[in-house]
Copies of this chain bind each other. A is one copy, B any other.
């Protein structure tokens, strides 16, 4: 086994707080590194400590502004590779462009594959990520991928809460497998709210509830929350079909547009998310509760660095 003498963790600008929390878990300092834009809008990176043959982890979820954070990640990888890093792991807790994972219309890209190619050609040796929009995105990479799941952490949050008479609800067909997994951990039934959408955006036309929700507490689960439109339409459909309290949990708080305002004014009692993406203070609505993935990521980095099983974390 290659004996990596030093473990080095660096961060771009996407979520430095998470990187610091990971380092705290690992008991090391965050590596010194400049990542900024010149006045001509060109991103620049300079790593400020020797990383020759070191085991380098670059923490950078693809938060908005999405394209800037992708380019930051790629440029950091290039700098690390040319600086003779021993191994480079891109730690991407949120993988944007996950919904662009197949050609479901003529002449559209598969951007999730493109991003995989970009990360690989820049020189990453591995990817560490959390809750991909589709598990198949692992297969967009030829380099080893460790995908961590927050499903047990989130499910256990509700198990601890002692909610009974629950129905786990997928807000659309694409989320059915995740809802199914959650319902199995909680040993509760699940339902799907099937929708018609208009065009390529997040606008919902009609919604039917498949499964029995009458008189039950509903837990909506999804991988991410964007503008909130899907979740709200789901909550309304659940209410119309007689559901009681409505909870919602997602891994990735994208929270684009007026999402926070919309949720505040909705029937949702609580929105549980993780810190894969940063939530700026002005978006930290009263209904939002954040669980941290820092320990999970930190433990995974420790195990990757030490040659221990990552899968064993979830057994």
Contacts and interface: CB of A to CB of B under 8 A. Distances in A.
A10 B279 CA distance: 37
A40 interface: yes
Given A52-B307, A202-B39, A140 B142 contact: no
Contacts of A107: 46-48, 51, 79-80, 82-83, 311
Contact residues on A (Cβ < 8 Å of other chain), bracket: 35 or more
30 contacts: A2-B2, A2-B53, A2-B86, A38-B200, A40-B256, A42-B99, A44-B100, A45-B108, A46-B107, A50-B308, A50-B311, A52-B309, A67-B71, A78-B113, A79-B107, A80-B107, A82-B107, A86-B307, A101-B136, A102-B135, A103-B138, A106-B310, A106-B311, A106-B312, A112-B139, A139-B139, A180-B194, A190-B194, A190-B210, A211-B211
A79 B177 CA distance: 24
Interface stretch (A19-27, A116-124, A156-164, A214-222): A116-124
Task: Name the residue in A101, A210, A257 with the highest tally of chain B Cβ atoms < 10 Å from its Cβ.
Answer: A210
Interface string A67-85: 1101100111011111110
B226 A45 contact: no
A292 interface: no
A29 interface: no
Contacts of A265: none
A310 B42 CA distance: 27
Nearest to A174: B177
A145 B76 CA distance: 17
A288 interface: no
Nearest to A54: B1
Chain multiplicity (copies): 6
A261 interface: no
B54 A41 contact: no
Given A1-B86, A173-B176, A184-B196, A226 B40 contact: yes
Contacts of A43: 66-67, 111
A266 to B, nearest CB: 17
A38 B311 CA distance: 23
A1 B146 CA distance: 21
A196 B183 CA distance: 12
Contacts of A280: none
A239 to B, nearest CB: 19
Contact of A78 (B110, B226, B311): B110
A177 B117 CA distance: 27
The 8 A-B residue pairs with the shortest CB-CB distance, nearest first, are A106-B311, A102-B135, A136-B136, A1-B53, A113-B139, A53-B307, A47-B107, A1-B5
Contacts of A123: 142
A65 interface: yes
A285 interface: no
Contacts of A311: 50, 105-107
